[in-house]
Amino acid sequence: MTPRKPSASRKRVSSPGGKRKTTRTIVRATSHAPELVIITGMSGSGKASVLKAFEDLGYYCVDNLPVELIPRFAEMALQSTEIRRTALVVDVREGSKLDRFPAILKSVRRMIPTKVAFLEASDVVLLRRFSETRRPHPLGTNTPVNASLKAERRHLASIRALADIVIDTSKFNVHELRAHITERFREQAAEKSILVSSVSFGFRHGVPAEADLIFDVRFLPNPHFVPEFRPLTGRHPRVAKYIGSFPQTQEFIHRISDLLVYLLPHYINEGKSYLTIGFGCTGGQHRSVMIAEEVGKRLHQAGYRVKIAHRDMPK
């Protein structure tokens, strides 16, 4: 799949303090082919965590969709210009209707590329998980959990045989399972599955509460003390050139960009879908603006979706 030319959009939004901040989103426009992933398997095997991982990957997700509605769901994905990659959970909660699943799957596969991911785990692990969560098994509270698990395995045997992927989650914790799904289903040629916000701000106005990482750039020479630059912002070419003319500026941009390119895959593997990085100077007008722009461009060049926002920059 060939990515389209990157595009940028601008919008203005109000911050909690009533100030207006300018945001600019740098995105890689991609067109996903229609796709449906059906997640099924044993109760307690991690289907909810897997569905959340697909949601973070940009899939339109539905939990416990009645099997008779799957064909309509597939039609919606085919007809929609916005919803293309879809995922849903089907499991033993469907009861006797689950017997219709093989025939429905056969018809849906003629409509849209469909994969079935079957999750399972050992009885020992499943029993421990039910004991830890103190949740009843979907087959009922009047039967011991171990007996319900055996009945569920028998009931799902025909569906397991149809699966494209079988994942044993016995040795996965929640984070490892989500990382496994992310790695397996992330599109190789598509944008990386995290949205990075590069935000400039002024320390005199307070630190942005939403920031995950904060870098202080007040060590850089301040254009505020250059009369011709004082009314301008860090987005003005002359101001940006002035700030960038100092060796420490270039070294900082290079080192911080390399650090973030190293860190972001690890955040993705931990299931993080967005990251906010704050760059602060005194007033949020010159240095932090220029740095947020430059680091945002570097991350965009590395293949990430980037939103650049200037909280305190004068308009």
Residue-wise pLDDT for 49-95, tens only, equals 999 989 888 888 998 888 899 999 888 888 877 777 899 998 888 77
pTM of the model: 0.52
Pick the closest to residue 86 from 119, 68, 108 (CA basis): 108
Provide mean pLDDT across the span 153-176.
Answer: 88
Q: Which pLDDT belongs to residue 32?
A: 59
Provide mean pLDDT across the span 181-196.
Answer: 67
Place of tokens 């045989």: 161
Q: How confident is the model at residue 44 (pLDDT cuts 50, 70, 90)?
A: confident
User: Is 305:28 a contact under the CB 8 Å cutoff?
Assistant: yes
pLDDT digits (tens, 9 = 90+) for 278-298: 999 999 999 999 999 999 999
Q: Which pLDDT belongs to residue 155?
A: 85
Q: How confident is the model at residue 1 (pLDDT cuts 50, 70, 90)?
A: very low
Q: Which pLDDT belongs to residue 179?
A: 83
pLDDT digits (tens, 9 = 90+) for 116-146: 999 998 889 888 888 887 777 877 767 788 8
Strand order in the sheet with 274-281: 7-14, 20-27, 304-310, 192-202, 274-281, 213-216
Q: Which pLDDT belongs to residue 24?
A: 55
pLDDT of residue 111 exceeding 50, the answer is: yes
pLDDT of residue 313 exceeding 70, the answer is: yes
Spatial neighbors of 163 by CB under 8 A, at least 6 apart, are 40, 116, 117, 118
pLDDT of residue 188 exceeding 90, the answer is: no
Residue with the larger pLDDT of the pair 274 and 39: 39
Q: How confident is the model at residue 187 (pLDDT cuts 50, 70, 90)?
A: low
Q: Which pLDDT belongs to residue 272?
A: 74
Q: Which pLDDT belongs to residue 23?
A: 58
Q: How confident is the model at residue 27 (pLDDT cuts 50, 70, 90)?
A: very low
Q: How confident is the model at residue 242 (pLDDT cuts 50, 70, 90)?
A: very high
Provide mean pLDDT across the span 155-175.
Answer: 88
Q: How confident is the model at residue 198 (pLDDT cuts 50, 70, 90)?
A: very high
